Amino acid sequence: MSKCELVIRLDGDRRSYAPGDSITGSVEVTVHSKGSCCCKELTVALRWHVPDVGGRSEDGVGDGNCSALLGQGEWQAGQTLSFPFTLTAPEGLLSYDGELFTLSWAIEAKAVVSLGLDVAASETITLVAPPVTPRPDTDGDTDTGVSDAASEIPTPLRQGIGWNWRETGLGLAGLGLAMMIMSIHPPSPAEGWLSVPGGMVIGSFGVGAVLVIHSILSAMARIAVGRPRLLLEPFSPHLGNTLKVHVLLHPKKNLTVCLATLEITACEIVTRPPPLNYHAKYPLVHTVVLHTQTVKLEPRTIPGGKESRITWCVPLPADGVPSLQAPDHHVVQWTLALQLEALGLAGWNTKLSFRVLP
């Protein structure tokens, strides 16, 4: 049986805080009347908790001024004491209630008692995003210029000046098949190239040569166009703002863009280790799509000889979920998938993650 009881009282009965706010209150200790209580230490801490559906959970103390030693000593029977405390709500992790996981915060007080059971008390609070003044957005016109707030992504679009290895491999396979048929069953002078082996040789060689030549011409055309540059404006947008994605091109001659698609997706992702009896050693990844939107632009012609741009304007939902990196591989991730195809070229594509602020 415990020798005392703890009660956490928050000033003003406040339960919601923003990062950086001061959390003030007191821990009231009531000693039972049957005897005194020797407390080695009385502590209070602000802790996060992530329960796991598999029976394993994670918790920890927030960074910064999130714990304090309130006192220690001999407490007399029937005595009531009050220990005030001041903690600071940490930056980063906010309270979250999703489909795959939840992240909660609580103020926990603990008294380590000599010759008795330790006593603890807990009070749940909520960490929410601070109010943000929305940045004035320009209209959705794709002719709007690139402002200084745009940030270039260091990773360029894939296949900018790359080689189409799949097409080249199929072409070389066709040429190799033609040579193998000729070595195993060359066409006889009597039958000529109109025989079955001769037709197979001609077909394989023709298809292979066309694929190899097309891959070479495509690579030369991509080199002539140059490597596109990808910019985000702003680099870390807030919910409710408009994200502008710019692709800067500098073709040497006119370029016809026949497909320009941008897809924005927000997913809740939980990665767990495989069970002991699982046949594979790879972790299990559970994903739930929270939000998705696709923006397609009309085909257009990019003039050659100067730098031009293609711009997508995507309004982010004001009631969406911001990016979250919770402990133990629990995340809310926003991704951007871009596909750009030009007439006569293999096209460019990329997929990257970006941060969305509350």
- What per-residue confidence (pLDDT) applies to 266? 94
- What per-residue confidence (pLDDT) applies to 235? 82
Distance CA 299, CA 295 (A): 13
- What per-residue confidence (pLDDT) applies to 108? 93
- What per-residue confidence (pLDDT) applies to 139? 39
- What per-residue confidence (pLDDT) applies to 26? 93
- What per-residue confidence (pLDDT) applies to 199? 65
Closest by CA to 348, choosing from 285, 280, 283, 302, is: 302
- What per-residue confidence (pLDDT) applies to 126? 92
Quick one: pLDDT band at residue 109, thresholds 50, 70, 90? Answer: very high
Distance CA 227, CA 249 (A): 7
- What per-residue confidence (pLDDT) applies to 121? 92
Query: How would CATH label the architecture of 226-354?
Result: Sandwich (2.60)
62-66: which pairs have CB atoms within 8 A and are 24 or more residues apart? 62/89, 62/90, 62/93, 62/105, 63/90, 63/91, 63/92, 64/88, 64/90, 64/91, 66/90
Task: Give the list of residues 6+ apart from residue 337 with CB closer than 8 angstroms, or none.
Answer: 262, 263, 265, 349, 350, 351
Q: Which two tokens stand for residue 3?
A: 């020798």
Q: Which two tokens stand for residue 5?
A: 């009881």
Lowest mean pLDDT among 72-76, 99-103, 175-179: 175-179
Which residue did the predictor score with more confidence, 250 or 242?
242
User: pLDDT by residue (tens digit) across 141-198?
Assistant: 333 444 444 454 544 444 333 445 566 677 677 677 767 766 666 666 655 555 656 6
Quick one: pLDDT band at residue 268, thresholds 50, 70, 90? Answer: very high
Which residue did the predictor score with more confidence, 282 or 41?
41
- What per-residue confidence (pLDDT) applies to 160? 38
Are the beta carbons of 109 and 44 closer than 8 angstroms?
yes
- What per-residue confidence (pLDDT) applies to 185? 63
Which residue did the predictor score with more confidence, 191 or 253?
253
- What per-residue confidence (pLDDT) applies to 8? 93
Task: Give the list of residues 6+ apart from residue 36 with CB closer than 8 angstroms, or none.
Answer: 3, 74, 75, 76, 77
* Averaged confidence pLDDT in the chain: 77
Average pLDDT over every residue of 292-306: 86
CATH 3.40.50.300 fits 4-127, yes or no: no
